[in-house]
Each structure stands twice: as C-alpha cells, then as structure tokens.
C-alpha cells in the first residue's frame, strides 16, 4: 500500500498532520487535573502518529469511562444515522472512529474506552503497547476514510437503491477499512496476530450455524427485510474478521504459512475459496491506494458477500424498479425445531 510523500521538519521526522488545535474530550475522570494530564499524553501520541498517517481530517478524540454513552452522545453534525453502539459478539468493541459532518465537510472522530486506554500514561504498564496499538488502529481509519472520501465524495453517506445494496455496502467498506487499518497499524505497539486470528477462527466456526438459526426463525416471523439484514450481517462479520486478520498478516510481512491454525482451519473448509478471493480483492484495492479509477475493485467484495449469502440459502433476484425477489428454500439445516 503506497504512502503519499510527506515533507520533513527540522527534526528529521515527517511533519505532523493532525489539526493544530485538536479537540480532546474526556468524560468520567475523577479529577480535572487527572483529565488534563491524560489529555496531554493522548494528544502527544496522536500528534506523533500523525507524522506517519494523514490525520488532517481528524475531528477530535473522545475518551470516556462510559464508552457506550459516549458513542450515543457524539455530535455527528447534520447527518441522520442510526445510534452508535459498541460492537459485541465475537469481538468486544473498545474503540470506534465514526463519520461526522463539520461545516459540510466529512471528518472522523475517534471514541475510546478509557478502561483500555489509561495504560498510555505509563510506559511500564503491561497493557501500554496494547493501548498504543488500539490508538494507532483508529488513527489509521481517519486516513483511510479521508482517502476514500477524496476519490469518491458523497459515496459514504449515499442512499442505496434497494435493500440488497444497503446490506452490501457496509460490508464492502468495513472489509476494506479493517484490512487497511490493520495493515497500517500492524507494527504499532503489540503484535496482535493471535488476537485477530482467534476472533476470525471463532467467527469461522460459528457463522454458518448462526445464519441457519436465523433462517429457521424466519420460517415463523416471515419478514424478508429482517432476514436479509440478519444473514448479510452474519456473513459480513465473517468477511470483516477475515479482512482484519489478512491485513494484519500483510502488515507484519507474514504469509499464511506463519499462521498454521488458520491454514489448518481453512483446509477443506467451505469458506477457503472466499478467504482467498477476499485476500486478492483487498490487495487489488490497496495497490491503487487513494488513486482508484472507479469503484469496481470495491464491488468485488460486495459480490463475495452476495455469493456467501446465496451459499447460505438466500437467493436474491432484482426485478423491476429495483424490487427484490428472495427465495429461501427449505433445508434440514434451516428448519425450526
């Protein structure tokens, strides 16, 4: 993934790219003095990272002891989007970099869970390098979003023509974003190969049974909109966690030979061809980083998601006026108990 050339200051380091007056918002600290000291630590780390990642479109950083509430309270500007909630399930979310609108300009705002980030105060803390890795990963998202939005302005907030497209695009963006973010942050702080691998393998093991249970429940509730969102969500998560793992492997300059648990799990597995195609798709996008001629390379990931959903038992046909016909055949695996 090629990096843009960066000018150097008289320190011999690349110049900082973070905004000069970077807003740092801290919530739930026991004293104001403690909050001020930590905000200085945090700003210093962000500014140093900004020498190597483009953080010019960073709106600010929020760190809160009540992470869930901080996400709900984030002012996202004049854009109408669903409420933000921490991710759960296969991976417990402790940081997020949502889009916000400021003066008709799309920016990114980093929100961090204080319980996992206070280790930044102490270089000797056992979780210091882990916290630094989290911060670097979120900073990477700021640059990646800015690069995409510069080439394709308005696409990230674009309304999709039908429910299938609305389900595809979050998967496309999350897979590319997480591949690129783990690639760019792989060498910051702790090496996270085991964590990303474990999350992927757990999802690999559970995705098909979870989707089958959802289809079985559909036999009772009969909501096509609901089952489409649910099944795309399950297989989208599988692709996303695969993208995390692949990007981290590439960022560490490793190959699949260096992760034998992954190669063993994929050997003969129905997901193995999808894993290979996702790898190739992410590499193709990365090859033209920030200089994409069109969205064709990104749509490849959406096509993978469509095929995964069909492989899981949902067959979708687009008919007139972008209406969808969805066929969900009966099978032993998707019948209610």
Residue 18 CB neighbour total at 10 angstroms: 22
**Nearest alpha-carbon partner for 153 in 108, 110, 106:** 106
Burial of residue 103 (number of CB atoms within 10 Å: 0-12, 13-18, 19+) = exposed
Residue 7 forms part of a structural domain: no
Residue 4 forms part of a structural domain: no
Do 181 and 123 lie in one domain? The reply is no
Do 116 and 167 lie in one domain? The reply is no
Q: Rounded CA gap, 88 and 199, in Å?
A: 12
Residue where one domain finishes, among candidates 127, 157, 187? 157
Do 216 and 131 lie in one domain? The reply is no
Task: Give the tens place of pLDDT for each residue, 145-154.
Answer: 999 999 999 9
Q: Rounded CA gap, 147 and 141, in Å?
A: 10
Burial of residue 132 (number of CB atoms within 10 Å: 0-12, 13-18, 19+) = buried
Do 137 and 195 lie in one domain? The reply is no
**Count of domains for the chain:** 2
Residue where one domain finishes, among candidates 134, 157, 180? 157
Residue with tokens 């759960």: 88
| pLDDT at residue 18, rounded to an integer | 98
Residue with tokens 């890795």: 133
Helix boundaries (H) for 28-160: 32-49, 67-73, 114-117, 128-151
**pTM, entire model:** 0.95
- Please list, in sequence order, all residues whose beta carbon lies within 8 angstroms of the beta carbon of residue 305, skipping any fewer than 6 positions away: 167, 168, 171, 172, 232, 235, 236, 239
Do 191 and 325 lie in one domain? The reply is yes
Do 54 and 188 lie in one domain? The reply is no
Residue 17 forms part of a structural domain: no
Do 174 and 313 lie in one domain? The reply is yes
Do 182 and 297 lie in one domain? The reply is yes
Task: Give the tens place of pLDDT for each residue, 99-141.
Answer: 999 999 999 999 999 999 999 999 999 999 999 999 999 999 9
Q: Rounded CA gap, 110 and 200, in Å?
A: 24
Report the SS3 class of residue 176.
Answer: helix
Residue where one domain finishes, among candidates 130, 157, 184? 157
Residue 262 tokens read as 């992954």
Q: How many CA atoms lie within 13 A of 155 on its CB side?
A: 18
Residue 292 tokens read as 């994409």
Name the DSSP class of 83.
P
The phi, psi pair for 33, rounded to 5°, reads -60, -45
Do 152 and 168 lie in one domain? The reply is no
Residue 271 forms part of a structural domain: yes
Report the SS3 class of residue 224.
Answer: helix
Do 60 and 207 lie in one domain? The reply is no
**Nearest alpha-carbon partner for 63 in 81, 79, 40, 83:** 40
The whole domain housing 244 covers 163-334
Residue ranges, the chain, pLDDT below 50: 4-6
Do 148 and 173 lie in one domain? The reply is no
**Nearest alpha-carbon partner for 232 in 323, 190, 299, 170:** 170
Burial of residue 32 (number of CB atoms within 10 Å: 0-12, 13-18, 19+) = exposed
Residue 8 forms part of a structural domain: no
| pLDDT at residue 9, rounded to an integer | 56
Residue 43 host element (H or E): helix 32-49
Residue 313 region by backbone torsions, left for phi larger than 0, else alpha for psi between -120 and 50, else beta: left
Q: Rounded CA gap, 201 and 266, in Å?
A: 9
Residue 89 forms part of a structural domain: yes
Q: Are 145 and 108 in contact (CB under 8 A)?
A: yes
Residue 56 forms part of a structural domain: yes
Do 218 and 95 lie in one domain? The reply is no
Q: Are 140 and 180 in contact (CB under 8 A)?
A: yes
Residue 2 forms part of a structural domain: no
Q: Rounded CA gap, 102 and 111, in Å?
A: 17
């Amino acid at each position: 993934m090629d990096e843009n050339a960066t000018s150097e200051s008289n320190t011999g380091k690349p110049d900082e790219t973070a905004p000069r007056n970077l807003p740092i918002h801290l919530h739930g600290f026991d004293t104001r003095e403690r909050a001020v000291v930590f905000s200085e630590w945090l700003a210093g780390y962000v500014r140093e990272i900004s020498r190597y990642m483009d953080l010019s479109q960073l709106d600010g950083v929020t760190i809160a002891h009540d992470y869930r509430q901080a996400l709900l309270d984030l002012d996202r500007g004049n854009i109408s989007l669903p409420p933000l909630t921490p991710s759960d399930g296969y991976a417990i979310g402790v940081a997020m970099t949502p889009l916000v609108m400021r003066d008709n300009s799309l920016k990114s705002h980093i929100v961090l869970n204080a319980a996992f980030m206070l280790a930044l105060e102490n270089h000797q803390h056992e979780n210091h390098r882990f916290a630094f890795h989290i911060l670097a990963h979120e900073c990477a998202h700021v640059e990646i979003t800015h690069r995409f939005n510069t080439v394709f302005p308005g696409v990230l907030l674009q309304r999709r023509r039908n429910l299938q497209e609305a389900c595809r695009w979050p998967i496309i963006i999350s897979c590319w974003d997480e591949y690129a973010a783990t690639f760019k942050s792989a060498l910051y702080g702790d090496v996270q190969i085991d964590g990303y691998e474990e999350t992927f393998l757990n999802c690999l093991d559970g995705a098909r049974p979870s989707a089958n249970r959802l289809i079985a429940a559909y036999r009772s509730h009969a909501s096509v909109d609901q089952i489409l969102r649910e099944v795309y969500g399950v297989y989208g998560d599988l692709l996303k966690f695969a993208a995390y793992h692949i990007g981290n492997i590439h960022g560490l300059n490793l190959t699949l030979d260096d992760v034998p648990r992954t190669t063993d799990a994929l050997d003969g597995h129905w997901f193995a061809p999808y894993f290979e195609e996702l790898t190739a798709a992410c590499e193709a996008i990365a090859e033209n980083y920030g200089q994409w001629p069109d969205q064709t390379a990104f749509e490849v990931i959406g096509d993978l998601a469509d095929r995964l959903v069909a492989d899981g038992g949902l067959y979708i046909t687009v008919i007139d006026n972008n209406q969808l016909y969805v066929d969900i055949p009966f099978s032993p695996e998707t019948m209610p108990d």
